Amino acid sequence: MTDAAVVPLQAEGIPVADDPIILAFGAVYLLIVVLIGAWGYVRTQTTGDFLITGKSVGTWVLAMTAFSVIQSGFGFVGGPELVYAFGTTPLWIFFTAPLGFLLTWVVLAKRLRLLADIRNVLTLADGMYVRYESDWVRGLTGLAVIVGVIAYLATNLAALQFVMRAIFGVPVVWGLFGGAFILLLYSMLGGMIAGVWTDFLQALTMITGAVFVFAYAMSFGGGMETISRNLATADPALVSPFGAMGGATTAVLVGVAWWILFSVGAAGQPHLITKFYMSRNLEILKWGAPIAALSYAISSLIAFSAGLSMRAMVEAGEIGETFSASEVGPVFVLEHTPSLVAGLILAALLAAIMSTSDSFLNIGAAAVSRDIPRAMGRSIEDDRTELRVTQAALAGLTVLATGVVYFSDALVGILGTIGWGFFAAAFVPVVVFGMNWKGATKEGAIAAIVGGLTVNVFYSAVPMAAEAAGYDGIAGGMTALYPYPDVFPVGTVALLVAVVLFVGVSLTTQDGTELPADLHALLER
């Protein structure tokens, strides 16, 4: 065993804006976020208000919220990072994720919204308890949410420390701790009411900023033809259809795996699918999917253009590589776009990270205060008490996720794919199949959640934790047991395992029991 170094994840090589315009944008945006949180606090009277906004969200707000909780800090920090490091391989994420919105809306939107009407459901675990009539399913769903939330929240906190450093010039470690504190305050105040409106604001800002960043990145790199030529000269794999993540065969496998994980896996993201509970009525769901998909595609131009152009200029010797891959997005915006554009993007990122993290914290805290206690037969009956316990649980989750960032050396983009994989494996079969197939059984749901979690924890979470703690031998030994190339996403394997378990166990445990009449009618729609 080696001693774990008690140092923050990232070094402080990221440039500081030192620009009054960018500083003003950041300060104003933070003020707006806090004010929205305070407004949400005034509007929040019940647990239902805190978790699902009292079913008050319209079409554009729903669509923009759905897109922004998926994009968030991953798109600005993790996305350019992966594109810079591996060329076109990550484009299999950004070009296929919009399909996930369309798929999710088709298979789940109407059914989950109707479920919120016919039964008193506030969380994903509530809905799955109603579907399977099993406390085991409810409890395991809550547990899976907590595990995935910690990984995904860590992604956003890792991005937040960069943005705080870039705007305000604070050391990275204080950007992490200070940002986490502001996030916790904002989340405890406003709940989901504040989150969805901050999502809406930052989504509009990110779409606008993405167009500007794309134009400046293409100009900086000399146009797509020059960018491609410079990259191909350095390494033809960087601009091949499947990129440079591993060898040629490995890159193909990774591209296909990410296609599966980020198109099909979208329907298993609880921070996305529980947004359907919030819609004002069924009619507003009609146009949400194309709006969300198009918005995501436009915002992804940041990752695509900044990552490729920066790598091309480094390979051409036009700029020095004085930054890490994780810093590519912030560095490009700070050094190669005008102050107004940089201020707009960085301020929007503050709001994006805050609102997306708020969604994660809400669903995770609800699992702690509502889902798991109810699964154990110890539900909190008083609504105000449940609300306060939910708010208190936010603090614990924030501390855990901050610790993951502080002690881990995983790339922001990799943390994001791990969190996505946790959710996809646990919930795609249970929710998508369960809400569309009357033959799904509680035994199948239990097997799928346990199987998906086991694969993800054994091959992702435990090796990462062991390495962070200094147990490199344990981490290496567990990684050596993984039957695929190390860059092949564990989440895809876990998802496929979970689907096979769900279908196989459901087929062997069907006993002819009829669904309740209201659920039977819902699944017939």
Give the model's pLDDT for residue 154.
Answer: 78
Q: Give me 155's structure tokens.
A: 């992604």
Give the model's pLDDT for residue 178.
Answer: 82
Beta bridge partners of 57: 279
Task: Single out the residue of 277, 262, 239, 281 nearest to residue 413, CA to CA.
Answer: 262
Tens-digit pLDDT profile for residues 348-357: 777 667 767 7
Burial of 204 (0-12, 13-18, 19+ CB in 10 A): middle
Q: Over 50: is that where the pLDDT of 7 sits?
A: no
Q: Are 51 and 366 in contact (CB under 8 A)?
A: yes
Q: How many helices (H) and strands (E) does the chain have?
A: 25, 0
Domains recognised in the chain with CATH numbers? 20-524 (1.20.1730.10)
pTM: 0.80
CB atoms within 10 A of CB 314: 19
Q: Are 509 and 441 in contact (CB under 8 A)?
A: yes
Tens-digit pLDDT profile for residues 283-329: 667 778 888 888 888 888 888 888 899 999 999 998 888 777 778 88
Q: In this structure, what are the phi and psi dihedrals at residue 57, rounded to the nearest 5 degrees? A: -90, 140
Pairwise CA distance, residues 499 & 148, whole Å = 18
CB atoms within 10 A of CB 228: 16
Tens-digit pLDDT profile for residues 19-63: 788 888 888 877 777 777 677 666 666 555 555 444 556 677 777
- Measured in Å, how far apart are the chain's first and last C-alpha atoms? 57
Q: Over 90: is that where the pLDDT of 270 sits?
A: no
Task: Single out the residue of 8, 92, 164, 25 nearest to residue 417, CA to CA.
Answer: 92
Give the model's pLDDT for residue 135.
Answer: 93
Beta bridge partners of 279: 57
Q: Over 80: is that where the pLDDT of 281 sits?
A: no
Q: Give me 146's structure tokens.
A: 């907590």
Tens-digit pLDDT profile for residues 466-508: 776 677 788 788 888 888 887 788 889 999 999 999 999 999 9
- Confidence band (pLDDT; 50, 70, 90) for 15? low
Pairwise CA distance, residues 86 & 487, whole Å = 11
- Phi/psi region, residue 116 (left: phi>0; alpha: psi -120 to 50; beta: rest), is alpha
Task: Single out the residue of 69, 80, 77 nearest to residue 165, CA to CA.
Answer: 77
- Confidence band (pLDDT; 50, 70, 90) for 418? confident
For the chain, helix, strand, coil in percent to 5 are 80, 0, 20
Task: Single out the residue of 497, 353, 506, 434 nearest to residue 125, CA to CA.
Answer: 434
Pairwise CA distance, residues 165 & 58, whole Å = 35
